[in-house]
A and B are shown apart, each in its own frame.
Chain A
């Protein structure tokens, strides 16, 4: 199986602090992966590198069948190449309606001129409604996103990610602030999404990771400490010391 995303030998230093230290990571085109690790392990920096927000000092990041280097692309170009990102706290555009939020995220031309002359086709509308249905916001399309509850905003953001149709999805702590029922819904959705694309989930919550039932990568001090099934990594003595032991 060829990898969709290939990160190799990447290092980043912030003011002398080595946030990512010779990190290598790869994920296949239809794979669910959980990344765990203590605070400061470099989880968020890793996502920043893949999405183009942070430039690594050394190493390479390639994406897709043609192994396009993401290091020379802007954030917007990386997003258009097919990398979607969900932030820890829900970031939706609160001043705009649910429908507008979803419409903006729909896969379509992104150039200003094309967007200016963009007209909604019936299939766009059907797609927006289907997405809203999928994330349980079908009755809230005309409402402003700012009026939604925290959990609903999380759902809206997930809906926007689905609308983007990314090939690789990076999800930062999706379960944060969700109720038990919402967590179960989220788990099912992530597993479902990973059937057609690569999904990387960064999570603190072990229970949630166990539910995902996927391969786990443990980060520590900016490098991969262990990789494998959750049972495998939780038996690893080093992992127990740095992460689970603090419990």
Chain B
């Protein structure tokens, strides 16, 4: 008897998309490197390399969103808050260390060696003069240490997600109510950060993050490619990690929670524990993506935490295809690149005679309509195209085990 079940086969055999994904990502990274200004034929501008690097980070946070929404069925509208918090945590170090270099250089010109107090004072005035303060707030106590801030990239969003998730899931808040709650969390956090005395420069945010401390001699051409590599590596590792998480029994349990959580409880699984685990894990992944994104963007401010950012994230995943990891990546890459093309003013306007469609204004309408169209007519999203392709390539496999990624019960979710 040679019966094969999906539980038996090895990880890679069960997830052919992982190998394909890594291969395509590697080729893409190589291609961008060869075409970059710093390491190749200078076909791609540095700013475009940065855009591509940022897009990879958005793909990573979309993967996290797919795990929590597409697999576990929790529509979180707060994951971009974790993304931004990750950016803030690394940004604090970048800004502090860079300012320190400038202050030390400036004081050195005075002739006398500067005391640590003078340097500290100088940094505080440089960073916080803009909000009328001259002392570093207590939350900057670790800002001088790269490793401490790196740990905070994971710890701050992780602990926030853990506490928030514990409170929400323990009370069995589900569905739309949970979405509203996560959105409220994002909004509250954004409003808090907008205040000047929040300790993170209010609406000015953190800036100059593209300047790497200690690398003043290195041109942005090179730095941009380094960050592109780091983003590609993080995306690749994130993909493998999440593919592993969803492929085993754990993936089975969270998909079961999505489809019928009461039944999962009667199987003896603590549904709240699983939700909390997934919520926190995805928050940490989002934070890491944010920590890689903002040095490429150069600036972060509280507007990045606006609830609309998290809604965009959900739209990307929905358009790309929930419940399959590559769908999330395709959706994030496709929609965010298209979005920057349309809003960047490069899309040609459409003159209708009586009215001219200016895409900077009309892009959101187009995006909204696409979202509605995808939800109604193609609930599998762009990723569903791969099903058609597989159906054509291997018709004899129809009705057999389709693997764990296929067919996230879209219809059922759409009814809720």
Do they bind each other? yes
Q: Which residues of A contact B (CB under 8 A)?
A: 51, 53, 74-77, 79-80, 84-85, 87, 91, 93-97, 99-100, 103-105, 110-113, 115-116, 118-120, 125, 128-129, 141-144, 147, 160, 164
Give which listed residue, A76, A85, A125, contacts B7 with CB less than 8 A.
Answer: A125
Shortest Cβ gap from A54 to chain B (Å)? 12
- Chain B CB within 10 A, most for which of A51, A80, A142: A142
Give me 14 other A-B pairs in contact (C-beta within 8 A), A51-B266, A110-B268 excluded: A76-B268, A76-B270, A79-B265, A94-B409, A96-B404, A99-B7, A112-B270, A112-B274, A116-B250, A125-B7, A125-B8, A128-B7, A142-B6, A164-B268
A-binding segment of B74-82, B253-261, B339-347: B253-261
Q: Residue on B with the closest CB to A93?
A: B256
Interface residues of B (CB under 8 A from A): 3-8, 245, 248-250, 252-253, 255-256, 259-260, 262-263, 265-271, 273-274, 277, 399-402, 404, 407-409
Q: Are A93 and B266 in contact (CB under 8 A)?
A: no
Residues of A close to B248: CB separation below 8 A: 115-116, 118-119
Within the complex, what minimum Cβ distance (angstroms) separates B412 from chain A?
A: 9
Residues of B within 8 A of A53 (CB): 262
Q: Is the CB of A104 within 8 A of B267?
A: yes
Q: How far is the CA of A99 from the CA of B409 in the complex (A)?
A: 19
Q: Are A112 and B250 in contact, CB atoms less than 8 angstroms apart? A: yes
From B245, B268, B269, B404, contact of A116 by CB (8 A): B245
Given A93-B255, A97-B5, A142-B401, are A115 and B267 also a contact pair (CB < 8 Å)? no
Question: Measured between alpha carbons, how far is A164 from B266 in the docked complex, in Å?
Answer: 10
DSSP class of B's interface residues: helix, strand, loop or mixed? loop
- B5 near A141: Cβ-Cβ < 8 Å: yes
B contact residues around A128 at 8 Å (CB): 5, 7
CB-based contact A76/B250 at 8 Å: no
Beta-carbon nearest neighbor of B271 in chain A? A76
Given A120-B8, A142-B400: A96 touches B271 (CB 8 Å cut-off): no
CB pair B402–A76 under 8 Å, yes or no, is no
Cβ of A171 to closest chain B Cβ, rounded Å:
13
Chain A residues in 8 Å Cβ range of B273: 111-112
Are A79 and B250 in touch, CB under 8 angstroms?
no
Q: Is the CB–CB distance between B250 and A115 below 8 Å?
A: yes
Taking the closest CB of chain A, its distance from the CB of B407, in whole angstroms, is: 6
- Beta-carbon contact of A110 and B404 below 8 Å: no
Given contacts A75-B266, A97-B401, A110-B269, contact A118 B249 (CB under 8 A): yes
The 4 tightest CB contacts between A and B, nearest first, are: A79-B268, A99-B5, A142-B401, A75-B265
Nearest-neighbour CB distance to chain A for B53, whole angstroms, equals 30
Question: Are B249 and A143 in contact (CB-based, < 8 A)?
Answer: no
Are B7 and A112 within 8 A (Cβ)? no
Given known contacts A85-B266, A93-B255, A100-B252, A141 and B399 CB-to-CB distance under 8 angstroms = no
A115 engages B399 (CB within 8 Å) = no
> A71 CA to B401 CA in the complex, in Å?
41
